[in-house]
Chain A
Amino acid sequence: MTTGVVGLKILEFTRTPGPRKKNEGHGSGEEFLEAYLLPRFLEAQRSGSTLHVDLNGAAGFPTSFLEEAFGGLAREFGSNVVETVLTVTCEDEPYVEDEVRRYVQEAAKPR
């Protein structure tokens, strides 16, 4: 049972999400995971809150970015835990919400 909401907007990080790893270029999924997603997730977990990630405002999401960030989170904490804490919205591109959900569910599978 969650009691509150911790928010995270993609625009805090970048308007142009980029590649998978930091060494591949600017705005990587790895950097987003380490600098933003993971700390907020821990904050939400500690306070028994939901982590709500708002993906609106960015100019598209490469698969590598989404998988590294959200799949990486699920690899760290497990798909079930992440699904309990995380909610994602993206009215700019509705199918992205499905993609994130699937990357979280499939994170345990070897790539």
Chain B
Amino acid sequence: VNWLVATITFFIGVLLGWLLPALQKISVASTVDAGNVLNVIATLAVAAAINVVLTKQVSTRQALTDVLREHLGEVLTSLRAVQHAARPCYAGHRLTPDEQAELSLIERELSNSLHSFEQALVWCKVEPIDIDLDKAKRAREALKKALTDTPFPGPYSPSDRAQISTTIKAFRDEITRLSVEVRSR
């Protein structure tokens, strides 16, 4: 896409360079001035160099954005697994030892997927001002607390169950916000 835009822009420039003098009735000398030719060559070389640098920068930025989006995708996958593992936390039920261990283990995967995203931000040199991760980290902690703080391992009350649903939604909303920030940075 970048090369296509650059090519179209080049031809528009050539066209304007040919049309504007004609429209403004500016006469064009038929002789060739060596100084002007060198000037044109130098200008074209600088323009080409700028284009190459900008294209490379855009490509690098796109690659980093793809890395961050991939990590956020993994966070969402982990969140879905947590949602599934939290299904036994219904009102009146006490988690079996296997269900307790499964919930803790799956919650850890969510924690670590968010941590990996944080590491990716560091490696991609993204400033905290561009991506606000703290709110998402707090939302993850609130979710963990709803899942595994008292009354863990149950029995859960209807309001405990509602709290789990609320914190899952809040965390998903945070990941959506992060996705938008990653795309628009």
Contact = CB atoms under 8 A, between A and B. Distances in A.
Interface string A58-71: 01111111010000
Interface residues of B, number: 24
A99 to B, nearest CB: 7
A72 interface: no
B31 to A, nearest CB: 72
Interface in A19-40: 19-20, 24-26
Contacts, number: 66
A24 B144 contact: no
A72 to B, nearest CB: 13
Given A93-B111, A95-B111, A62 B148 contact: yes
Q: By DSSP majority rule, is chain A's interface helix, strand, loop, or mixed?
A: loop
Interface stretch (B15-23, B59-67, B70-78, B96-104): B96-104
A19 B153 contact: yes
* Interface size class of chain A, counting residues whose CB lies under 8 Å from the partner chain: 20 to 34
A19 B152 contact: yes
Interface in B141-165: 141, 144-145, 147-150, 152-153
A67 B97 contact: no
Nearest to A67: B149
B105 A64 contact: no
Contact of B144 (A25, A63, A92): A63
B97 A20 contact: no
B100 A63 contact: no
B108 interface: yes
A60 B115 contact: no
Given A18-B100, A62-B148, A93-B112, 13 more contacts: A16-B97, A16-B101, A16-B104, A17-B104, A19-B100, A19-B152, A19-B153, A59-B108, A60-B105, A63-B144, A63-B148, A64-B149, A64-B152
26 contacts: A16-B101, A18-B153, A19-B100, A19-B153, A20-B149, A25-B97, A26-B97, A60-B103, A60-B106, A60-B107, A60-B108, A61-B104, A63-B144, A63-B145, A63-B148, A64-B148, A64-B150, A67-B149, A93-B108, A93-B112, A95-B114, A95-B115, A95-B140, A95-B141, A96-B111, A99-B141
Listed from nearest, the 9 A-B pairs whose CB atoms lie closest are: A60-B104, A62-B148, A63-B149, A60-B108, A63-B148, A60-B105, A16-B101, A95-B111, A63-B145
